[in-house]
Chain A
Amino acid sequence: MSARQASSASQTPHLSPAELSYIYTSLSLPNTPIRPDGRSSTQFRPLTAETDILPGTNGSARIGFADGTQAIVGVKAEVEKTVVAADALDLRSISRQAQGESLARESSEEKESGGAGEDGTATGQGSWVQMSIEIPGFRDDDALPVFLAEMMREPLVGSVSGGSGKGEDGEMAGGLKGRLVINRRWHWRLYIDVLLLSQPLSYPLPLLSLTTHLALLSTKLPKLKSQGEEDPFFDDDWAAAEYLYPRTRTTINTPKPPSQNVRPPITLLILSAGENIIFDPSREEIAVADSVLAVSITRDSESDGLKLLSIRTVDPPSRLTQPGVANSDNVAPLGSTGAAEEASLQHPSVGGEEEMAGVWRPRRGGVKRGVIARIVKMVLKKGGVGEEVLEGLEGVEVG
C-alpha cells in the first residue's frame, strides 16, 4: 500500500466517501467551483519568499506557504572537465582519413552514438544539471522525490530561449545548458538541492518549483578571467560575479527593478474536476481530482508572451479512494439478509456505470481535450495565471 501511495500524487487524506463526494460536487459546480478554503479557482495560496539566505551557496531561496510547509533550495556550481575531449574528435577524423570511404559510414555511426557528448562541447548537456530532493520521511531514491526532481529538471534543461546569439545584454544563448559551457574543455556542473522542511501536506510540486525558480535567479557564478580555450581562471571578487540568468543592466535612477529577459521555467499544478479547472490545489482537492496536470511554462524572450514547455499528467490519488455505497445497495438499513440479497440482485454491481448524486465513485482519470485546451489558454494568455505568477515572483527582490 505504501509503495502505491508514494508513487501517486500525495498520500490520500483520510476522507470518507461522503466527504469526497461533497468536495467533488462543490468543485465541479458548473462555472463556479467552491473550494474548501474559499479561494477562487485561479487563486494561489499566500506565501512568503526570500532569497540569498545561505552565504555558502551560489544561490539560495526559501519559500513558506501559509499552511507551514517550507522549502529551501541551495544551488552549488562546480567547474568540471568536459568528458569528450578535443583529442577524441581528432582521432576520429584521422581514422576517417586513413581508412577511406568504406569505413566512413561506420565512423559516422560511431559519431552519432557519441553524439550527445559532441553536442556537449558546443551546446552543453542536460546531465550537467543535477537535482536532488529531500523530503522528510522519504528516502532520496523513493519514487516521489525522484519523479519530482525529474519533472522539474526536464523543463529546466530543455528550455532553450533567446537563441538569437547576438550577445545582447540579458540574452542567454542556448538556454541554461549553453550558459554552463565555459569552453570546449570545461563546463560548470550545477547541483540543485531541494529541502522540504516539513511533511508534504499537499503535493509539493508548486512549492518546490517556485523555490527553485527563485534560487536559480539569485545564483551567481564567478566572473571568468581567462579567455578562449585556456584553463578557466576566475575573478576572486565575489562582488564581480555574474548572475547565472543574465540581467539587463539598468541605471540606478530608473524606477523599475531590473527586468530579466530570460527566466527559469516554473511548473504549475492544475487539476480538473468536471468542466472546471483549478490552480494550486490543496491536498483535499487533489483527492477528488479527475486529473492532475503539471504544466511548465517560461517567458518567451522573442515575443513578450509565455511559452509552454511541457505538460505531464500526475497520477491522482483519487483512484485509490474507497467508493461510496448507495443507500439502495446498503445492507444495514434493509434489516434481513434476504432483503439484502434481493437488493444486490436488483443492483448487480457497486461499480456500476451510472453516477448517482452524492455517492462517491473513484475517479478513473482521463481528461477531455477541450479541458486541456482551456488549461493551456488560461495559463498562457496575456494577463493569465502564468503571467500573474511570474509577475509575483518578479516582485521578490533577488540578490
Chain B
Amino acid sequence: MPLDTSTTYPLTKLRLDGRRWNELRLLQAQISTNPASSGSSYLCMGNTAIMCSVHGPAEGKRGDGSAGGAAGSAEAIVEVDVNIAGFAGVDRKRRVGGSDRQSSRIATTLRAAFQSHLHTYLYPHSTISIHVSVLSSDGSLLAAAINACTLALVDAGIPMPGLLCGCTAGMSGSASTPRDPNEDSLDPLLDLSLPEEQELPFLTVGTTTAVPVGEMALDEADAEEEEMKVSMLNMDSKVHCTYIETMLAVGIDGCKQIREVLDGVIKGR
C-alpha cells in the first residue's frame, strides 16, 4: 500500500484522513430513535455507525434453564447481543452460523463493562438486554459501541454513576522498541480508523466520572474538576510497555471530549 500512516505521518504530521494526532472524527449521535424499545440510540464516529436498543429492566426470559439466571439473582443481569451487519465492511462478509469472533468479543467486553458500571442492585431478579447493530464499521468499533450503549441506557433511564465513554488511542509506528526520551519520533494518535487499526498498535479505554460523595460533594469548587476513572481497558496488539502511559493519557483525553459531546446529546433532548 503506497499510503499508510507509518510512512506518510512522519513527513506530514497528518494522518490518512487528514486529521492531526489529537483530533477525533466527527461524532454525531441521537437518542430515542426506536420507540419500540425502552431506550435506543444511533451513534456515528466518522464512518462507523451503530444502532443500539435497550430492553428492560424486565423479567428474564423463562425457560432459560441456567441456574445462575436472572430469576434468582440479587441484581439485574446485563445481556449484550452484538450483530455486525453483513454490509458493514468494505467487502460483504460471509458468516457461517450465528456469530463471529469479533462480535462475540465486543459483546463480552460490553457485558463486563456495563454489568459493573450500572446500578444493577436496584433491579433484582431482572434482565437488561442490550442489542447493538453495527451498520457500518470503520475502526474503533468497541469504543463506538460503548458510547452508543451508554446513550441508550441513559435513554432507558437506567441509573448509573456517570457516563461511560470509550475511545481508542494508538501510536504512529510499530513502537516495539523501548522509548528513547531524547528522540521522540513516534506520536500518539487519537480515535483510530480502520486502516490505522489494521497497521498500528492501539488500545481502547473506557472512562467514567466518579460521583463526588461525602465531603467532596459539598466542595463547590471541586465540582468543576471531575475526577475520571478508567473502568475498562482493552488491547489486542503488541506494544512496548514504555508507550502505554502516553497512549492511555491520550485515550483518556479523548474520552473527556467524547463525554462533552454525549452530554450535549442528552441535554439537547
Contacts and interface: CB of A to CB of B under 8 A. Distances in A.
Interface in A49-90: 54-57, 60, 64, 67-70, 72, 74-76, 78
Given A54-B135, A136-B131, A70 B36 contact: yes
Contacts of A68: 34-37
B34 A56 contact: no
A248 interface: no
B86 A74 contact: yes
Given A56-B90, A78-B91, A195 B34 contact: no
A69 B33 CA distance: 11
Contacts of B53: 197-198
Contact of B86 (A70, A136, A141, A191): A191
Question: Which of B49, B87, B90, B135: most chain A Cβ within 10 A?
Answer: B87
> Size class of A's contact patch?
20 to 34
B187 interface: no
A364 to B, nearest CB: 28
Contacts of A70: 34, 36
Contacts of B89: 56
B112 to A, nearest CB: 21
Contacts of B34: 64, 68, 70, 197-198
A197 B87 contact: no
A198 B86 CA distance: 18
Interface string A95-124: 000000000000000000000000000000
Given A72-B135, A136-B131, A57 B87 contact: yes
A201 interface: yes
> Size class of B's contact patch?
20 to 34
A72 B34 CA distance: 12
Nearest to A67: B36
B88 interface: yes
Contacts of B133: 72, 195, 197
A56 B37 contact: no
Contacts of B98: 139-141
A193 to B, nearest CB: 4
A56 B97 contact: no
Contacts of A260: none
Interface in B49-99: 49, 51, 53, 55, 63, 81, 83, 85-92, 95, 97-98
A68 B55 CA distance: 13
Contacts of B95: 140
A66 B94 CA distance: 33
A69 B36 contact: yes
A72 B35 CA distance: 15
A19 interface: no
B111 to A, nearest CB: 16
Contact of A193 (B87, B91, B131): B87
Question: Which of A56, A132, A136, A139: most chain B Cβ within 10 A?
Answer: A56
Contacts of A141: 97-98
A201 B34 CA distance: 13
Question: Which of A2, A64, A76, A197: most chain B Cβ within 10 A?
Answer: A197
A300 B83 CA distance: 38
A5 to B, nearest CB: 12
Nearest to B55: A199
Contacts of A195: 83, 85, 133, 135
B85 A134 contact: yes
Contacts of A64: 34
A55 B47 CA distance: 9
B92 A78 contact: yes
Contacts of A69: 36
A89 B19 CA distance: 55
A56 B87 contact: yes
A67 B34 CA distance: 9
A72 B33 CA distance: 13
B214 to A, nearest CB: 43
B136 interface: yes
Nearest to A140: B98
A73 to B, nearest CB: 9
A68 B95 CA distance: 28
Nearest to A53: B135
B87 A75 contact: yes
B136 A56 contact: yes
A132 B86 contact: yes
Contacts of B131: 136, 197
Given A54-B87, A54-B135, A75-B87, 5 more contacts: A56-B136, A68-B37, A74-B135, A193-B87, A198-B37
15 contacts: A54-B135, A54-B136, A56-B88, A56-B136, A67-B35, A69-B36, A70-B36, A74-B86, A75-B87, A78-B92, A136-B83, A191-B86, A193-B86, A198-B37, A198-B53
Interface of B: 34-37, 47, 49, 51, 53, 55, 63, 81, 83, 85-92, 95, 97-98, 131, 133, 135-136
